[in-house]
């Protein structure tokens, strides 16, 4: 009975705890202007001035005449009424939205609705991520296990600690050990349950150290250099206070970190320490720009190395003045006299209040209308790029100490959960190429930001009753901005592209996923967010090709040394200026394949030249006469002309009223598994940007039609056109049945309900890659054609009675392979007149282009699916692929110079059934064609 009761409770929770809300329409004719996600329910739909506005439990959607605004509710920071009829929405990612209403009452109604919707939740279950996951589990009840796997992060994330210890090569026998002192978070609620410490440090000493460090955040090792054994550790500030307290166990632990590096078995052979590594900043002064450059230029050289004990670098992210001022609050910094063989450096990074003020200034600048004339000076006054520069310099100093000077580093700020993860995560990203892969980056974020307790709920403002604006700060966004700066300087070193980072920024605040909920791992465990919400890594998984950097090379630099000066940094326009950032429609049809209904004359196999010869393309669109084809990359071709050209090419394939265009991109078969199963998309029929992409069957046949249409064989093209029409009309009814006519198109939204971001560089790379693949396939076909012609000439040479004739396509004379010295082709052709040659039908000498095996998934006759034990057979007459039962007849094919019985399909066999008279006639043709 207990098990049955528990099971029934689970069913009730999935069905009833997140009920849909009643839709309120200001106008009965209004429809929801977007496709809802699972668990999403639209509450209000109304009209603004020249726009339709809709509010759900997940997003605010405003559809203007020429643009669309789609923003999650938790991404909105504040809503206010600036003018009598205008709402002013300020977003946490620097965007500002303005919406004009017709009446004051309507404006006030929407102001109240939005303020209620964006209010911090009273309980965490009010966030949309819980409803989204619960409804997904209900919809996919039959595939619950599969959906659960898709919603969870990969094994590389769940087993990250064990994998990282093994990958970085910690000597767990002599130098280091894994302490479980924080099991069930009994020591520190914002630390992971397992931490790495020197092997000879006991748990009792760790408890003593915890009483001396802020929030009990003791020094814990988080990274080991695989070559020299130098480590990076992190902690909170020491609680020195005005009384100058000290702790012997803390001093012993800090020194033990350096000793453990020296005793590491893998670094025993490399104990050369730079005795002149940098200037001594232990006097408490901040590191200026000049001193930073000089310390970098004085990096370790072979002549300056000396065998000395390792000197640990303590990097304090604060300024010296801020560190001393913290002594009044019970904090402080390490005193060099108490920590021998250590060097303290202060980086002068701003606190969260200064960063928040700088970000607000940047947001105000980016939303000014019109564009200010003093843009550059105004951007400088925000100091946003200056803050990025200081952060990059701090991380680079850690990289130099670990990689070049082979020194261990201890990083901390005040509490150790804001500036500390910024520096440590950025340094690890520069040091280790693994973290620059998609999987490694996920491990990096999970380890340094989530496990070590960055306060996402307070900093992002989506925690329970997180009304304190002083706690909000875009710390994680600032770090992602630095990652973007590294992407710009090292475009071949990152496996993920800019779209990956843009999505990560959006879902840091969107609350669609539960990855960034709560302030630490302890709270997430108590709320069971991992079991009750989806992971953002299920969307940003490595298999998702939309986030893959096509320029990535695994052989790029192992350690990155970026330029950190402000003049080398750029504003992240894709996030802060999304309207002005270069983007194109999310249409990856970039493959320059001809349309199935076009003729070979209209679609030459060669590459089309890039030209700007057409002056008035807009006028040409209105003309019914198709003009000369041009490359899709021609900048003179506007969007209207492209759409018109596609409609002309496909007019012979669709007789329905609505225009349907088949996406030219061949999607992988496992694309549906690359995204969480909870996304509310038709799994078999997915509409994006006005392009109909039917299921696997349709993708294969569409690709088949593109490949074969490049050939100039008229018979193959005729069968291809019939195949495409058959497929189009058979699936058209299913597509219309799957989506109601009132359902809006989803051209501007991605699968997660967010706006589509297209990286113009990556899109151009996909175009180049697609064009290259097409050229390779064309060359392969030409080589295969040449090979078949040469083999045909050699096999049929015995049928040639009076001599050879030249091959029109290969331009290789048949006489080269003929050993007959009396062949007429070796004689001078001057003795023959043009009248002595008999004109031959082109179809009699043209070779059928065979459909490649890898493009045929079904029999052309009975439409049965090929598998491992089902052999494919080509018809020697039409070139299509059939099964053994549909292609079991043999007959000579004189038109293809196959005079012995050859395998043909049933249809061709009926038309080519040999008779004595017809066979003799066909045998005479090649002889008559070469000689009179």
Q: Nearest CA to 445 among 383, 532, 530, 508?
A: 508
Alpha-carbon distance of 691 to 688, in angstroms, equals: 6
Alpha-carbon distance of 177 to 197, in angstroms, equals: 6
Q: Which residue has the tokens 């003020």?
A: 357
Which residues touch 53 (CB under 8 Å, ≥6 apart)?
Answer: 44, 45, 46, 47, 60, 61, 62, 63, 99, 110
The encoded tokens of residue 34 equal 């977007």
The encoded tokens of residue 695 equal 């299921």
Which residues touch 90 (CB under 8 Å, ≥6 apart)?
Answer: 76, 77, 78, 79, 80, 96, 363
**Residue 884, beta-bridge partner list:** none
> How do residues 623-673 score in pLDDT, each as one tens digit?
343 444 444 444 444 444 344 444 444 443 343 333 333 333 333 333 334
Give the burial class of 793: count Cβ atoms within 10 A of its Cβ; 0-12 exposed, 13-18 middle, 19 or more buried. Answer: buried
Which residues touch 185 (CB under 8 Å, ≥6 apart)?
Answer: 191, 193, 521, 522, 525
Where helices occur in 367-491 by DSSP H, the ranges are 375-382, 384-399, 419-431, 438-445, 456-460, 475-489
Q: Nearest CA to 442 among 158, 75, 657, 765?
A: 158
Concatenate the DSSP letters of all residues of 836-902 into one string: GSPP--HHHHPPPPPPPGGG--B-TTT-PBP-TT---EE-TTT--EE-TTTS-EEEEEGGGTEEEEE
**Which pLDDT value is given to residue 615?**
41
Q: How far is CA 449 from CA 27, 351, 417, 516, in A?
A: 46, 17, 8, 9
Collect the ranges in the chain with pLDDT lower than 50. 1-10, 265-268, 270-284, 298-308, 581-746, 801-838, 840, 916-932
User: Phi and psi dihedrals of 158, rounded to 5?
Assistant: -70, -30
User: What does DSSP assign to residue 594?
Assistant: P
Q: Contact, 382 vs 569, CB < 8 A?
A: no
Q: How far is CA 173 from CA 177, 180, 192, 403, 793, in A?
A: 8, 16, 22, 24, 74
> How do residues 108-166 score in pLDDT, each as one tens digit?
999 999 999 999 898 999 999 999 988 888 777 666 555 555 677 778 888 899 999 99
Which residues touch 375 (CB under 8 Å, ≥6 apart)?
Answer: 365
Strands 86-91 and 76-81, bridge-based pairing: antiparallel
Alpha-carbon distance of 330 to 426, in angstroms, equals: 29
Catalytic-labelled residue, pool 99, 188, 333, 413: 413
Q: Nearest CA to 317 among 298, 337, 331?
A: 331
Q: How far is CA 896 from CA 600, 701, 705, in A?
A: 20, 26, 23
Alpha-carbon distance of 484 to 476, in angstroms, equals: 12
Is the model's pTM score more than 0.75? no
User: Phi and psi dihedrals of 795, rounded to 5?
Assistant: -75, -30
Q: Contact, 431 vs 402, CB < 8 A?
A: yes
Q: How far is CA 427 from CA 138, 164, 289, 450, in A?
A: 43, 16, 19, 17
The encoded tokens of residue 592 equal 């320059």
Q: Which residue has the tokens 């990274």?
A: 223
Q: Nearest CA to 757 among 574, 914, 518, 902?
A: 574
Q: Contact, 261 vs 233, CB < 8 A?
A: no
Q: Contact, 861 vs 882, CB < 8 A?
A: yes
Q: Contact, 69 vs 62, CB < 8 A?
A: yes
Alpha-carbon distance of 53 to 271, in angstroms, equals: 66
Alpha-carbon distance of 137 to 200, in angstroms, equals: 48
Q: How far is CA 574 from CA 373, 541, 756, in A?
A: 21, 21, 12
Alpha-carbon distance of 11 to 519, in angstroms, equals: 30
Alpha-carbon distance of 367 to 362, in angstroms, equals: 9
How many Cβ atoms sit within 10 Å of the Cβ of residue 302?
Answer: 6
Measured CA angle at 605 (ends 600, 611), to 5 deg = 105
> How do residues 477-486 score in pLDDT, each as one tens digit?
999 999 999 9
Which residues touch 695 (CB under 8 Å, ≥6 apart)?
Answer: 684, 685
Q: How far is CA 203 from CA 182, 208, 210, 334, 493, in A?
A: 10, 9, 10, 22, 41
Question: What's the maximum distance between 2 C-alpha atoms anywhere in the chain?
Answer: 117
Number of alpha carbons in the 13 Å side-chain half-sphere of residue 382: 20
Cα 750 to chain centroid, rounded: 12
Q: Which residue has the tokens 């090569």?
A: 169
Alpha-carbon distance of 35 to 516, in angstroms, equals: 25
Q: How far is CA 647 from CA 84, 637, 734, in A?
A: 46, 15, 22
**Crossing angle of helices 384-399 and 475-489, rounded to 10°:** 70
Strands 96-100 and 86-91, bridge-based pairing: antiparallel
Alpha-carbon distance of 526 to 56, in angstroms, equals: 28
The encoded tokens of residue 854 equal 């890898």
Measured CA angle at 920 (ends 917, 922), to 5 deg = 110
How many Cβ atoms sit within 10 Å of the Cβ of residue 176?
Answer: 23
107 is catalytic: no
Helix, strand, coil in percent for the chain, rounding step 5: 45, 10, 45
Q: Contact, 555 vs 548, CB < 8 A?
A: no
């Amino acid at each position: 009975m207990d098990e049955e009761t528990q099971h029934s409770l689970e069913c009730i929770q999935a069905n009833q705890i997140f009920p849909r809300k009643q839709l309120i329409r200001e106008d009965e004719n209004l429809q929801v202007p977007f496709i809802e996600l699972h668990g999403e329910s639209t509450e209000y739909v109304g009209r603004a001035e020249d726009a339709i506005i809709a509010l759900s439990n997940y997003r605010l959607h405003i559809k203007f005449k020429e643009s669309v605004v789609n923003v999650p509710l938790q991404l909105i920071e504040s809503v206010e009424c600036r003018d009598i009829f205008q709402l002013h929405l300020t977003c946490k990612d620097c965007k500002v939205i303005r919406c004009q209403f017709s009446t004051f009452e309507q404006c006030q109604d929407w102001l109240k609705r939005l303020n209620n919707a964006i209010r911090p939740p009273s309980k965490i279950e009010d966030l949309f991520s819980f409803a989204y996951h619960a409804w997904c589990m209900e919809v996919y009840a039959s595939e619950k296990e599969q959906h659960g796997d898709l919603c969870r992060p990969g094994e590389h994330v769940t087993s990250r600690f064990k994998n990282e210890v093994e990958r970085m090569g910690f000597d767990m026998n002599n130098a280091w050990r894994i302490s479980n002192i924080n099991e069930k978070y009994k020591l520190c609620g914002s630390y992971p349950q397992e931490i790495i410490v020197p092997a000879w440090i006991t748990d009792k000493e760790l408890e003593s150290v915890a009483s001396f460090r802020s929030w009990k955040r003791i020094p814990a090792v988080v990274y080991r250099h695989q070559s020299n054994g130098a480590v990076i550790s992190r902690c909170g500030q020491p609680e020195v206070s005005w009384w100058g307290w000290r702790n012997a166990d803390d001093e012993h632990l800090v020194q033990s970190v350096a000793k453990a590096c020296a005793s590491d078995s893998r670094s025993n052979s490399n104990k050369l320490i730079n005795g002149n590594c940098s200037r001594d900043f232990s006097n408490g002064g901040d590191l200026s720009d000049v001193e930073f450059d000089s310390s970098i230029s004085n990096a370790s050289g072979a002549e300056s190395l000396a065998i000395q004990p390792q000197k640990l670098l303590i990097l304090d992210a604060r300024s010296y003045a801020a560190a001393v001022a913290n002594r009044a609050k019970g904090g402080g910094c390490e005193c060099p006299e108490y920590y021998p063989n250590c060097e303290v450096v202060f980086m002068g990074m701003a606190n969260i209040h200064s960063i928040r003020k700088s970000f607000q200034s940047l947001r105000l600048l980016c939303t000014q209308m019109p564009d200010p004339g003093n843009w550059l000076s105004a951007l400088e006054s925000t100091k946003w790029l200056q803050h990025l520069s200081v952060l990059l310099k701090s991380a680079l100093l850690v990289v130099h100490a670990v990689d070049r000077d082979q020194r261990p580093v201890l990083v901390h700020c005040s509490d150790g959960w804001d500036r500390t993860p910024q520096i440590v995560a950025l340094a690890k990203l520069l040091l280790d190429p693994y973290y620059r892969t998609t999987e490694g980056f996920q491990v990096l974020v999970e380890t340094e930001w989530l496990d070590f307790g960055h306060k996402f709920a307070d900093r992002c403002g989506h925690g329970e009753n997180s009304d304190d604006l002083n706690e909000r700060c875009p710390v994680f966004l600032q770090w992602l901005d630095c990652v973007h700066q590294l992407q710009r300087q090292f475009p071949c070193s990152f496996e993920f592209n800019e779209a990956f980072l843009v999505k990560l920024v959006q879902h840091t605040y969107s609350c669609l996923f539960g990855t960034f909920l709560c302030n630490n791992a302890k709270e997430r465990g108590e709320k069971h967010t991992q079991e009750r919400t989806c992971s953002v890594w299920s969307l940003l998984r490595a298999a998702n090709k939309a986030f893959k950097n096509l320029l990535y090379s695994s052989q790029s630099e192992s350690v990155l040394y970026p330029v950190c000066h402000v003049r080398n940094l750029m504003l992240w326009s894709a996030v802060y200026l999304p309207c002005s950032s270069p983007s194109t429609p999310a249409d990856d049809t970039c493959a320059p394949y001809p349309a199935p209904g076009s003729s070979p004359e209209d679609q030459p196999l060669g590459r089309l030249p890039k030209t700007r010869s057409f002056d008035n393309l807009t006028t040409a669109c209105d003309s019914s006469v198709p003009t000369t084809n041009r490359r899709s990359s021609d900048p003179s071709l506007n969007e209207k002309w492209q759409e018109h050209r596609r409609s002309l090419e496909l007019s012979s394939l669709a007789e329905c009223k609505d225009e349907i265009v088949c996406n030219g991109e061949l999607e992988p078969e496992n694309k549906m598994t690359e995204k969480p199963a909870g996304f509310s998309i038709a799994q078999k029929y997915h509409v994006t940007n006005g392009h109909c992409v039917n299921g696997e069957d349709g993708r294969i046949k569409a690709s088949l039609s593109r490949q074969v249409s490049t050939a100039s064989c008229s018979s193959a093209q005729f069968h291809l056109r019939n195949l495409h029409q058959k497929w189009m009309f058979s699936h058209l009814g299913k597509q219309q049945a799957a989506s109601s006519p009132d359902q809006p198109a989803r051209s501007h939204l991605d699968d997660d309900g967010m706006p589509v971001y297209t990286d113009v560089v990556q899109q151009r790379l996909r175009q180049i890659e697609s064009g290259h693949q097409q050229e390779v396939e064309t060359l392969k076909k030409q080589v295969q054609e040449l090979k078949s012609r040469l083999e045909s000439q050699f096999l049929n040479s015995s049928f040639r009675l009076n001599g050879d004739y030249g091959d029109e396509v290969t331009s290789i004379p048949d006489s080269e392979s003929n050993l007959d010295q009396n062949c007429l082709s070796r004689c001078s052709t001057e003795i023959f007149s043009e009248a002595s040659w008999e004109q031959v039908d082109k179809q009699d000498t043209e070779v059928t282009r065979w459909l490649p095996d890898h493009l045929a998934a079904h029999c052309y006759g009975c439409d049965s699916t090929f598998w491992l034990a089902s052999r494919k057979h080509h018809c020697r007459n039409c070139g299509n692929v059939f099964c053994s039962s549909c292609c079991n007849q043999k007959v000579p094919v004189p038109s293809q110079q196959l005079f012995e019985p050859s395998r043909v399909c049933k249809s061709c066999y009926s038309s080519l059934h040999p008779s004595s008279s017809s066979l003799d006639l066909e045998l005479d043709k090649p002889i008559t064609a070469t000689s009179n």
